[in-house]
Amino acid sequence: MRKVIFSLVLLGSSAFAQIGGWSDVKKIEAGKNIFSKNCAVCHGKKAEGKVGFPALKGKGHVGHHSPAKLLAQITNGGGGMPAFKSKLTKQERESVLIYLHSIWSKKVKHHYDKKFNIKG
């Protein structure tokens, strides 16, 4: 069972990495707008976090999770976070993740991109 789940996580991470667009200005701007309307109330205007809600600036736990896991969290919610599967399209959810990636420091991005095989 663990092998199957691990394989699905790797498959999801690889599939997301193939989507590209990590530096696409239009996707970043769209993600910023979507984040502002749907996520900032809990995670802060600049993703700095608030009491009871994690920062999403790449430090801490968010920078350690694969794109597939982060996308699953946005899609399905959990741990107090609402699900956005029925509120945002897949493309919109991906744009939020691309936006968050864009605000991370160069050092964090470099480590994350290398760890999860992310290419522009």
CATH number at residue 100: 1.10.760.10
List beta partners, residue 78.
81
Q: Which of 6-15, 17-26, 59-68 has the lowest mean pLDDT?
A: 6-15
Domain count, the chain: 1
Using the predicted structure, report yes or no on whether residue 50 has a pLDDT greater than 80.
Answer: yes
Contact status, residue 116 vs residue 67, Cβ threshold 8 Å: yes
**Mean of the pLDDT values across residues 4-23?**
52
> Distance between CA 25 and CA 99 in Å, rounded?
9
DSSP 2-37: HHHHHHHHHHHHHHHHHH--TT-HHHHHHHHHHHHH
> Distance between CA 29 and CA 69 in Å, rounded?
22
Range of the domain at 99: 2-116
